Amino acid sequence: MAAQPVHVNEIVAAQRPRRKDAARNFDALLAAAREAFADKGAEASLEDIARRAGVGIGTLYRNFPTRRHLFESVYADEVNALCQVALDVAGQEPWQALTSWLHRFVEYTVTKRAIREALNGESEIFLACRASMYEAGGPLFVRAQEAGEARKDMDFDDLLRMVAGITTTNFVDDAQRDRVLEVALDGVRSC
């Protein structure tokens, strides 16, 4: 019998300490690591991450025994946030909900790029994260298609690959990236 897939929200929740002070440190480390990976890529130093979080290196290692542990936790936390956005925007008009989620997806890809380089796609967490992301964002795309606002000759995977492709390009600034994304989304919109 095949093992049940692990949902990404279970990954970080299982690691998060129960004591309030320890949980605050854990959350601060995740936030600092996310920022460091976005700024410096996979080579960001663990000492810099601990400093950014306002904790000692020993606290970092107590929470994340290896660099890989930290990478996986940050990645899973980012996907959790992306899934939460899907829930938060679900009540919006179909096109607005989809584009709101895609804008957050773009932010997520910055962190994902650094982490994916470090893990070389070898992590089981990637499979859980991908499944959770598709479960969260896919229905937003289908809803936009059913409302006649998104092209029906593409699927959700096509859309994510297009948007991810845009984010791998170096831009002058975030405003330029957002303009290019809007042009691409105009091609997805059917009305």
pLDDT of residue 43: 86
Residue 148 CA to residue 152 CA, distance in Å, equals: 8
Contact 72, 64 (CB under 8 A): no
Q: Which domains does the chain possess?
A: 10-188 (1.10.357.10)
pLDDT of residue 98: 97
* Residue located via tokens 């290692």: 61
Helix, strand, coil % in the chain, rounded to nearest 5: 75, 0, 25
Q: What percent of the chain has pLDDT over 70?
A: 83
At CA 112, angle to CA 110 and CA 118, rounded to 5? 120
Write phi, then psi, for 189 (nearest 5 degrees): -70, 135
- How does residue 128 score in pLDDT terms, banded at 50, 70 and 90? confident
Contact 51, 14 (CB under 8 A): no
pLDDT of residue 154: 96
Q: pTM to 2 decimals?
A: 0.80
